[in-house]
Amino acid sequence: MSEPSAGVNGLTPRQLMASGSPHGLVYVEAAPGSGKTTVSALRFGLHRFSASTDRRAVVAVSFTRSATEELRTRVIRYWGPSSVTWPHRIVTLDTLLCDLLFHLLQEGVLRWPGGHTDLEVLDTWRTALSAKPGRIRPVLRVDNGQVVIRTVDESQSAGHPSVLDFKKAISEGRCTHDNVREVLQGALATGEAREALTSYFEGTIRSLTVDEVFDANDLDRDIFSLAASGCRSLTLVGDPWQALYEFRGARPAAMTTYISENSFTTHHLDKSFRWGSDKQASLTSKLRRRLPAQLPPGNAQDADVVIAHRWQALWGADAHVLPLAIKPGVGQAQEAICTLLLNEITQHALGLQAVFLHDALATLGLEKENLATTLHACLQDAVSHLKEGTPSRQVWEILSDGLADLVPALGPVSPIMIGAR
């Protein structure tokens, strides 16, 4: 069925129906740019302001910091800043998982080494502990309610902290978001933790909305099913075609099965507001229906971002295309330098900061201001060499020599291959 154009206040009837759905379990499936975040933000506000005597929180989560920030901005724009005053909140799923772990520790369902009930949770150990390449990775497990340290033997070598350093940090009450996930995973094998978390949802959260739900992995899905038993309303919003995180465990097919087996009331939004032309709209609608489509040829100069099925195609593409990859496990300082270089390019080309810029600066003992002052010329120089086709090994030598003078914490760094066109 084709969707009529915009309804009340510019929303389409389908967006309105999905936003105001009175059901407890709601699933909104929507194409790119068709209003997933719009509907999540509207539904958040409707729930937030519709039950003034219910003191439990209205919560919305997304998976990345940027998507969460976008949702929060949208909610504040539609509903005003009071919509997100405590306990109502819009946070990353990782933050919600931390809340759940802290609850289990505070209730005594889990015991942390050293008896901590509150933890400092880091994005990664990279900036806090030195890493050595190897296959042994220290991890956390749950044994009879006690959080314990174990090791796993990975199939590939990568940089991991030593067991000793890991043990010390954990017993001081520090861990990473991955460790939070490991512990929750272990805890959910027991009925006691499951009951404690269901009561947590029942007592503290009345409505949970999850945007981009197809990025969820098995643990996330398990958490949503506990939320479904505890909260009055669970809204899952997403597009199975836009699942990005299969490489880190997301299982879109399992999410589809979970939704269909649990009687979610489903709303479909299929009109996108993102396409600039009818041609684009018809191309994407064909591709979503798995129909063959022919892509019109274009100029590399006109493209902001180029994607390809295989790396090789990018290396062989027009000289305007700059593929940039950092081989994992090359060393902390080397990765940090590459991140600074990547940041120089993304800032210039897209106006965006590289994702791990903060970590890179911490690794090199630098402040953000150093980028604009001392480092800029050296990084720009390297980008120009890459553009001109100077062999990558030579670019690396010039860059690491230049940085050695500017970054006091940087000792001699071994060569790595960087590449760009």
Question: Least Å distance between CB 19 and Mg ion?
Answer: 14
What is the x/- site pattern for Mg ion, positions 35-74, by CB under 5 A? Answer: -xx-------------------------------------
Of residues 14, 15, 233, 334, which one binds ligand ATP by CB under 6 A?
Answer: 15
Residue with tokens 């947590």: 200
The alpha carbons of the chain give a radius of gyration, in whole angstroms, of 24
Question: Least Å distance between CB 12 and ligand ATP?
Answer: 5
Q: Among residues 304 and 388, whose Cβ is nearest to ligand ATP? A: 304
Q: Which of residues 25-54 bind ligand ATP (CB under 6 A)?
A: 30, 32-38
> Token pair for residue 129?
């502990």
- Coil, strand, or helix at residue 317? coil
Q: How far is CA 67 from CA 26, 235, 245, 305, 380, in A?
A: 20, 17, 14, 19, 30
Q: Among residues 286 and 320, whose Cβ is nearest to ligand ATP? A: 286
Q: Which of residues 363-392 bind Mg ion (CB under 5 A)?
A: none
Question: Least Å distance between CB 31 and ligand ATP?
Answer: 7
Residue whose CB is nearest to Mg ion in the complex, by number: 37
Residue 89 near residue 238, CB atoms below 8 Å: no
Residue 131 near residue 332, CB atoms below 8 Å: yes
- What is the DSSP code (8-state) at residue 111? B
Question: Least Å distance between CB 37 and Mg ion?
Answer: 3
Q: Among residues 12 and 37, whose Cβ is nearest to Mg ion? A: 37
Q: Which of residues 355-394 bind ligand ATP (CB under 6 A)?
A: none
Closest C-alpha among 185, 267, 242 to residue 219: 185
Q: Among residues 12 and 284, whose Cβ is nearest to ligand ATP? A: 12
Size of the chain, expressed as the number of residues it contains? 421
Question: Least Å distance between CB 252 and Mg ion?
Answer: 16
Q: Among residues 77 and 393, whose Cβ is nearest to ligand ATP? A: 77
For residues 69 and 73, give the distance between their C-alpha atoms in angstroms, rounded to a whole number.
6
Residue 50 near residue 305, CB atoms below 8 Å: no
Question: Least Å distance between CB 81 and ligand ATP?
Answer: 19
For residues 10 and 76, give the distance between their C-alpha atoms in angstroms, rounded to a whole number.
18
Question: Least Å distance between CB 191 and ligand ATP?
Answer: 37
How many other CB atoms are there within 10 angstroms of residue 184's CB atom?
A: 23
Q: Which of residues 23-42 bind Mg ion (CB under 5 A)?
A: 36-37
Residue 65 near residue 94, CB atoms below 8 Å: no
For residues 420 and 417, give the distance between their C-alpha atoms in angstroms, rounded to a whole number.
10
- Applying CB under 6 A, the span of 8-16, 82-90, 313-321, 327-335 interacting with ligand ATP comes to 8-16
Q: Does 15 bind Mg ion (CB under 5 A)?
A: no
For residues 393 and 420, give the distance between their C-alpha atoms in angstroms, rounded to a whole number.
11
Q: Assign residue 35 a region: left if phi > 0, alpha if psi is -120 to 50, beta otherwise?
A: left
Q: Among residues 73 and 130, whose Cβ is nearest to ligand ATP? A: 73
What is the x/- site pattern for ligand ATP, positions 211-250, by CB under 6 A? Answer: ----------------------------------------
- Applying CB under 6 A, the span of 10-18, 191-199, 289-297, 321-329 interacting with ligand ATP comes to 10-18
Residue 273 near residue 281, CB atoms below 8 Å: no
Q: Does 11 bind ligand ATP (CB under 6 A)?
A: yes
How many other CB atoms are there within 10 angstroms of residue 295's CB atom?
A: 7
> Token pair for residue 382?
């390297």
Q: Which of residues 271-300 bind ligand ATP (CB under 6 A)?
A: 273-274
The binding site for Mg ion (CB under 5 A) comprises 36-37
Return residues touching ligand ATP (CB under 6 A).
6, 10-12, 15, 30, 32-38, 273-274
